[in-house]
Amino acid sequence: MLAELVQHVIGVDPDRDRITASLVETRTRGELARREFPANPSGYLAAIEWADELSEADDRVWSIEGTGSCGSGLCTILGRHSEWVVEFDWPSTRSAKDGAKSDGLDAYRAATELIGRKKFAQPRVRGVREAMRVLLVTRKSGQRSRVAAINELKAFVVTCPVELREEIRGLNTVGLVARCSAWRPSGDAETHATKTVMRIVARRIKDLDSQIRSIDRQLKVLVAQVAPQLLEESGIGPFCGAQIYVSWSHAGRCRNDLAFARLAGVAPIEATSGQTVVKHRLNRGGDRQLNRAMHTIMLTRARNDPATKAYIARKVKAGKSERDARRCLKRYIARRVWRLLEHPLDT
């Protein structure tokens, strides 16, 4: 346990403008000191100096909540100074028994809860992974905006003047966007305004398509740079490969393929009760974006890969339903992807 490894734990509750640190002794769980620092590089260095006054660098650990958001700056500076940093992910208790809550109490909880744990979560790395993450976030928001714009354009088709509706009747989405983006406003006031707004929305869709394609090109370059073995696998493209790498982060964060499968939400959960046969239910936990990537890979391979089609056929012949066979396939893909990332030279 952590009390056998270090003498002090520094719990940190980070906010946008400040961080609150609580220094706790591991054996007694007593708080020795508490202090606030500004959330900037000088404040992070001051926190390290404060910790050096009260503890030894090789005999302490930092427990930081939100290492991927407000605590990312502090986590980066601590990494540069070779400090041991652990991500405090899910608190299991309240800040205080009576319901009181403050930044100081949250920092103290981050330190004390870590003391009793045997498994420690490593903070996700930045660099190329962070570049992929921000691209994926922007791509997702662009897709949402694109779908909203398409729905808006199709709603205008229903309510536009009859003459315009007859001109674009029967066109698919691509043809509708191309036709409307080339319109020139004309006619009476209603027709003029309708053509104007439909052209604006159609050109917005084209702009979003261009942005998404640009992001996909950048993702392909980044994935090829850090994990080219993913792109060689059937069913894995730049988008899914980037999402897999972002969720995985770095070697050793998932201790084995089972932990990665649980992170992806594809590890089956037992659902046996009484004298019923052994059954499993769908895992709704884990990283849902990673789960979506696994589902996309599974669908692509099930449609296009002969070996995958044969695998599903064997499972169905053995008595499983096609849905259960696809769930088994997701678990296999998770195991394969984990091996590709953790041991690229052995696969």
- Residues 290, 247: contact at Cβ < 8 Å? yes
Identify whether residues 321 and 242 lie together within a single domain: yes
Beta-carbon count within 10 A of 249 CB: 19
The amino acid at 161: P
Instruction: With respect to residue 120, please indicate whether it lies within any of the assigned structural domains.
Output: no
Q: Mean pLDDT over residues 93-97, rounded? A: 67
Three-state secondary-structure class, residue 215: helix
Beta-carbon count within 10 A of 203 CB: 15
CA angle 13, 17, 18 (to 5 degrees): 40
Which stretches within 227-321 are classed as H helix?
228-231, 238-248, 257-264, 288-304, 306-317
d(CA 249, CA 251): 7
Instruction: With respect to residue 138, please indicate whether it lies within any of the assigned structural domains.
Output: yes
Domain termination site, one of 65, 92, 115? 115
Instruction: With respect to residue 123, please indicate whether it lies within any of the assigned structural domains.
Output: no
The answer on pLDDT for 135 being more than 90 is: yes
Three-state secondary-structure class, residue 110: helix
* pLDDT for res 17: 93
Identify whether residues 293 and 259 lie together within a single domain: yes
More confident residue, 282 or 212: 212
Instruction: With respect to residue 248, please indicate whether it lies within any of the assigned structural domains.
Output: yes
> Looking at the 3D structure of the chain, how many domains does it have?
3
* pLDDT for res 146: 97
Q: Mean pLDDT over residues 179-191, rounded? A: 90
Identify whether residues 98 and 153 lie together within a single domain: no
Identify whether residues 45 and 150 lie together within a single domain: no
Identify whether residues 58 and 28 lie together within a single domain: yes
d(CA 78, CA 45): 9
Instruction: With respect to residue 215, please indicate whether it lies within any of the assigned structural domains.
Output: yes
Identify whether residues 81 and 177 lie together within a single domain: no
The CATH number given to whatever domain includes residue 64 is 3.30.420.40
Identify whether residues 170 and 244 lie together within a single domain: no
The answer on pLDDT for 136 being more than 80 is: yes
Instruction: With respect to residue 122, please indicate whether it lies within any of the assigned structural domains.
Output: no
Q: Mean pLDDT over residues 260-283, rounded? A: 78
Identify whether residues 82 and 138 lie together within a single domain: no
Domain termination site, one of 55, 84, 115? 115
The answer on pLDDT for 258 being more than 80 is: yes
pLDDT tens for each residue of 223-249: 999 999 999 999 999 999 999 999 999
Q: Mean pLDDT over residues 182-191, rounded? A: 88
Domain termination site, one of 207, 226, 245? 226
Instruction: With respect to residue 258, please indicate whether it lies within any of the assigned structural domains.
Output: yes
* pLDDT for res 2: 77
Identify whether residues 77 and 148 lie together within a single domain: no
d(CA 194, CA 184): 11
Average pLDDT in the chain = 90
* pLDDT for res 297: 95
In this structure, of 2-11, 15-24, 175-184, 311-320, the range with the lowest mean pLDDT score is 2-11
- Residue 163: which pLDDT band, with cuts at 50, 70 and 90? confident
The answer on pLDDT for 279 being more than 80 is: no
Identify whether residues 239 and 319 lie together within a single domain: yes
Number of H helices, E strands in the chain: 13, 7
The answer on pLDDT for 275 being more than 70 is: no
Identify whether residues 149 and 241 lie together within a single domain: no
- Residue 118: which pLDDT band, with cuts at 50, 70 and 90? confident
Percentage of the chain exceeding pLDDT 70:
95
Range of 217's domain?
128-226
Identify whether residues 48 and 137 lie together within a single domain: no
pLDDT tens for each residue of 28-83: 889 999 999 999 999 999 999 999 999 998 899 999 988 888 889 999 999 999 99
* pLDDT for res 347: 58
* pLDDT for res 117: 77
Instruction: With respect to residue 221, please indicate whether it lies within any of the assigned structural domains.
Output: yes
More confident residue, 22 or 96: 22
